[in-house]
Chains A and B, each alone.
Chain A
Amino acid sequence: MKRVSDGLVDRSRDLNFSFDGKQFAGHPGDTLASALLANGQTLVGRSFKYHRPRGIFSAGVEEPNALVEIGRGARLDPNVRATVQELYDGLSAGSQNWRGSLRHDLMAVNDLAAPLLAAGFYYKTFMWPKAFWEKLYEPLIRHSAGLGKLSMQPDPDAYDTGYLFADLLIIGTGPAGLAAALAAGRSGARVIVCEEDFLMGGRLNSEQQHVDGVASSTWAANTVAELKAMSNVRVMTRTSVFGAYDHGVFGALERITDHVGHQDQSARQIMWRIRARRSILAAGATERHIAYPDNDRPGIMLAGAVRTYLNRYGVAPGEQIAVYTNNDDGWRTAIDLAAANVEVTAVIDTRDTPPPVDTSGLGNAVLVRGANIVKTTGRHALTSVTLDTGVTVPSDCLAVSGGWNPNVHLSCHQRGRPAWREDIASFVPAGDLPVGMGIAGAANGELSLGAALRSGHDATAQALAALSHGADIGQPPQAVDEACEITPCWHVAHEAKGLRKAWSRSWVDLQNDVTSKDVTLSVQEGFTAVEHVKRYTTLGMATDQGKTSNVLGLAILAEATGQSIPDTGTTIFRPPWTPVPIAAFAGASRGEAFRPVRHTPSHAWAESQGATFTESGLWLRAQWFAKPGESTWRETVDREVEQTRSGVGVCDVTTLGKIDVQGNDAAAFLDRVYANTFSTLAVGKVRYGLMLREDGFAMDDGTAARFSDTHYVVTTTTANAVGVFRHMEFCRQCLWPGMDVHLVSTTEAWAQFAIAGPHSRELVSRLVDELDVSNEAFPFMACAETTICNGVPARLFRISFSGELAYELAVPARYGDALMAHMNDTGKDLGAVPYGLEALNVMRIEKGHATGNELNGQTTAGDIGLGRMVSQKKDCIGNVLSHRDGLAAADRPRLVGFRPVDKSVQLRAGVHFVSHGKDVITENDEGWMTSVAYSPSLGHFIGLGYLQNGADRMGDLVRACDPLRGEEYEVEICSPHFLDPEGDRLRA
């Protein structure tokens, strides 16, 4: 193997790289595969199941064999196709799937056991004894399975996602794609051109052909330069369009740094969603091979790939190369090799027809027609091929062409089924194509250069016409239509006899080690449908998705079942066309950026006070504020509760939803969405509100404050802030569009703080500028718009969740952090203390207030003890259905309180209640504990929960059973209002 020309690589510069620790050099423009071949590295990997030595088989994304690991440490990337990995200085690559060494793989013992390891072996063998599966078989199989190894570390690279738009998306830049792009670009339309290779041109760079009188690669380069100069054309190399989705949306993966190695502050790859009004699939065709005995040896390569290495990379993949073909295209490989002074040892055509080319330049090559290869030799590299004529030809490389399969994949992603074309012995796109998609070039079965160019040009003309884009796009580029006749030859019968026959195999799918025997075995076993054969044999699975094997496999299947190939059909084509890292789908949404984090206005101050935070939806809320010397969270929370109840506590409650409700019909609107009445609420007053769902269950609770005849501010629970707003908007827009009512979420706009405790009035009075906050002037459930701290706009509400004399004070969010600090500072002599979500929860349980634990979607207003709030003087959403038998039944669970008989017992939420003398089984379940807390005010645990007929069982004892933890204790049923049941404190 040697460089026979410059090809399209830059041989003025060297790039150093390593493979399995050995240092090599290549050049800019090389792939890892071309550089390995140029350095004589034929053996590059081991096969999946039999650990057979494997070499480079193709020159593109279809590669089944040359899968390597790139990088080190956390950046170790397995199963990278050497045929598409661009070479860069310092690239570190390694072979995979061996134990011992690549040349001496201990697992190659599998190959000796090949007769026992046919398709279905696993299914039949590892069924017994049953106990062995989990302990022995599965670990063993998992250890042996797979190809590359993951780093087992988090991927340290960055990925992005993004959105692109175009009038016309052109997928692929071979002759058809470039002809299409050129016409589209000149028309002025918005065009995106995607090419998965780093060099645009496709097979124009692999062939010794001419377009418009210049070398095809030169024409490609000139065309690309013209496209790049057009402001209306976006040229994207290293970008694989991997999926065609609904409504003209395509998924595309752009590789940003894979050709240079890791770069700080850059995305490694970008996953684009491209929305295109029209698209042209010009993805070309993939060559397939032929199934003949031992057709997997290193050195056996697709004929078109041999031309690519020769013409594009200037590398001859062998020194004595034979060609084996069933079509005219294979002969061009022999012609190009001979023209480059590479020895062609034989051209074996399965057809008994005259050569389609002038063979005078082929020198001493043996030209055989109507023959097949029945044997190959060479363990780590091919040494010879033997024909069915008995002739053996020495060869270190065999170029094989079994025909070309149009790359129909993206045309089938919307369930389109391709159609069989007998003249090219391949499937072409047909049926329901993705909306707006046209097909051009080899992807549509136009296998000659001239036809491909015309096809691309015409596809653009059609797309532009559909877009009513009437520009003159001129004439298509001109090229000859070379011969491309084919007579299918799918596989060669096994000639081996006796014991040797058991080991004689013809590979169909090189990546999964699926042989022609496996396919016929599948049929024998009754798996005759193409999808069943795929699952039984693994044909067409893994990273290459059977690009070189699928059609060959189903042709063999068709023969085995006696069906035609079109009747046999193909498996379903699904995205992605080539592998896409999961990380690319995630893009930047990972780690801390997985989802947005919402900070309360006083978050910075809370952080400075050493607060511990907890997630509440997307919010981060201060859970408690530990002080030095406090060793447990309970100690901290108990103190916060006690200090609030004895002095004054301040808590950021901004997360509660706030909805500005304005309009002439605001009052009537609220009457309809809330169970209780708000139209009678006086201006300057607040009322507790309960909202029902359409089905009559409780939906959410909160308050509504009335600031004018046409202006209310309602609050929701934190968890339901979005849901309630959405529900109210639905009511406004869809149920009662004629009402003059307007909703604006102002949750974010106002920083709101609960100020609770006997000294709260004093603290508030130190803040307000002029408002009289005396009990007489500003009683319980009053509200006002005012100013504080020398002119800061504010809203003050006298409401209480803690059961204490309490206020909620709202200021524009920009002042939230400063106000929190100011209140704690100003109220120091009053014993002011910040309290977190946990203390808030303790105090609301002491007071018997319901929250999300109690409003779980299964409870009614009556269950919570608020049945009388459902006004019967008016209608509201949920009113009618709340009277259903089941919802109004007397024996429904009711919200009650629980205290342990043994005061030292720790209650737990989730326990179920069972009466004495009954078994702890579901049938005897009488209810469950929803919330528990240690009450520092009472000195023991307390709980809230639902209990059948609970309201009528005050003072009774019931068993609290926790089968999960094996706990059981007695609790006494009591009022849920553990503290100040008359509400004297909050009205003080």
Chain B
Amino acid sequence: MPDHTDLQARPALYGLKKQYGSLLVEEITETALVTLAHARENRDAVSATLSSAIGAALPDIGHSSVADDGLTLLGLQQDQTWCVFTHPGGSADRALAARLGETSGLYLTDQSDGWCVLSLTGDSVLAVLERLCSLDLHEGEFKVGHVARTAMEHTSVIMLRLGHSHFQLMSPRSSAGSFAHAIDNAATHVHKERLIE
């Protein structure tokens, strides 16, 4: 017989939340990540399906599109799109499938537990990220809504710009501690250096 004991879910970084001067680094714990794959030739049809089901079409690579309820599609490669949405429970792929209704030709993979999601907000965010990120994050180049898959401190990172001084970073769960350490190191230094004459 089943034990009926609920297991305690544990965020990758135990719900990290830390302020560095004006910069807030916070783990977002109820975000679902589902990859949505399709045959290349089906892109237009899939995009139409999504538009009617959730109000957001497939974005180009490097861009994102946002549904009415905030669900965000990230364009990261030719035939694969990431869906980011708030979903506190498990089986996010099934939840999304239910929402989409028609899913023939669509292949969903729940990646929610594979990634740790961090929000970085504050006016020193660019100063911190320029010590970690090899991408040009100037607002004219990496605009609000832009997304990129990159690497920071030898760790894979997916980066989404949500505002002028607001970024969402996703990095693999297993090495989230090392990634958080790298951010902590850079943010601590930037904050302290602003106080040095």
Chain B residues, CB < 8 A from A260: 196-197
Known: A597-B177, A790-B4. 10 other contacts (CB 8 A): A158-B185, A165-B141, A256-B193, A597-B178, A599-B175, A660-B109, A711-B107, A747-B174, A815-B10, A818-B8
Query: Counting CB contacts under 8 A, is B98 at the interface?
Result: no
B3 close to A (CB within 8 Å): yes
- Say whether chain B's binding surface is mostly helix, strand, loop, or mixed: loop
Q: Interface size class for chain A?
A: 35 or more
Is the contact region of chain A dominated by helix, strand, or loop, or is it mixed?
A: mixed
Interface residues of A in 223-272 (CB under 8 A from B): 256-257, 260, 263-267, 270
Q: A161, A596, A598, A604: which has the most chain B beta carbons within 10 Å?
A: A596
Question: Does B173 sit at the interface, judged by CB under 8 A?
Answer: yes
Cβ contact within 8 Å between A813 and B173:
yes
* A749 in contact with B114 given A267-B189, A588-B182 (CB within 8 Å): yes
| Cα distance A642–B6 in the bound complex, in angstroms | 31
Are B115 and A748 in touch, CB under 8 angstroms?
yes
User: Are B39's CB and A588's CB within 8 A?
Assistant: no
Q: Are B112 and A789 in contact (CB under 8 A)?
A: no
Supposing A766-B2, A812-B90, A814-B9 touch, asked if A270 and B131 sit within 8 A by C-beta, the answer is yes
Q: Which residue of B lies closest to A663 (CB)?
A: B107
Contact of A589 among B109, B110, B135, B153 (CB under 8 A): B153
Determine the chain B residues whose CB is within 8 A of the CB of A664 once the complex forms: 39
Q: Which of B5, B9, B79, B196 contacts A822, CB < 8 Å?
A: B5
A792–B90 touching, CB < 8 Å: yes
Q: B37: nearest residue on chain A (CB-CB)?
A: A742
Q: Choose, from A105-113, A443-451, A767-775, the stretch at the interface.
A: A767-775
Q: B residues 13-50 with Cβ under 8 Å of A?
A: 35, 37-39
Chain B contacts of A819 at CB under 8 A?
7
Min CB–CB distance B73 → chain A (angstroms) = 16
Docked CA distance A822–B132 (Å): 38
**Residue B84, interface by CB 8 Å:** no
Total chain B interface residues with beta-carbon distance under 8 A? 58
CB of A265 within 8 A of CB of B189, answer: yes
Q: Which of B127-163 contact A (CB under 8 A)?
A: 130-136, 138, 141, 153-155
B114 touches A748 (CB 8 A): yes
Q: Is A327 on the interface with B (CB-CB < 8 A)?
A: no
Structural contact, A596 and B179, CB atoms closer than 8 A: yes
List chain A residues, Cβ under 8 A from B141: 165
Report the separation of the CA atoms of residues A604 and B7 in the bound assembly, to the nearest whole angstrom: 15
Contacts of A817 in B (CB 8 A): 10
Task: Report how far A499 CA is from B4 CA in the complex, Å.
Answer: 102
Nearest 10 CB-CB pairings of A with B:
A749-B114, A742-B37, A662-B107, A748-B114, A598-B174, A596-B178, A813-B113, A165-B136, A596-B175, A818-B7
A to B CB contacts below 8 Å, 14 in the list? A161-B131, A163-B130, A163-B131, A165-B136, A265-B191, A589-B154, A595-B154, A746-B111, A748-B115, A749-B110, A789-B3, A790-B2, A790-B5, A826-B5
Pick the residue among A662, A663, A748 that contacts B174 (CB under 8 A).
A748
Kindly list chain B residues whose C-beta atoms are within 8 Å of the C-beta of A768: 2
B55 at the interface (CB under 8 A from A): no
**A273 interfacial by beta-carbon distance below 8 Å:** yes
B193 touches A598 (CB 8 A): no
Query: For the complex, is A503 an interface residue (Cβ under 8 Å from B)?
Result: no
The answer to whether A789 and B7 touch across the interface, beta carbons within 8 angstroms, is yes
**Cα–Cα distance between A745 and B38 once the two chains are bound (Å):** 16
In the bound complex, what is the Cα–Cα distance between A423 and B99 (angstroms)?
79
Minimum Cβ distance to chain B for residue A272 (Å): 8
Contact with A along B163-192 (1 / 0, CB 8 A): 000000000111101110110011011011
CB contacts (< 8 Å) of B91 on chain A: these are 793
A267 to B155, CA, bound (A): 21
- B138 to chain A minimum Cβ distance, whole angstroms, is 6
Complex: A747 Cα to B113 Cα, angstroms: 10
For chain A, residues 695 to 713, give those with C-beta under 8 angstroms from any C-beta of chain B: 710-711
Residue among A595, A596, A769, A822 making CB contact with B7, cutoff 8 Å: A822
Q: Say if the beta carbon of B121 comes within 8 Å of chain A.
A: no
Chain B residues near A742 (CB-CB < 8 A): 37-38, 79-80, 107
Answer yes or no: A811 CB below 8 A from chain B CBs: yes
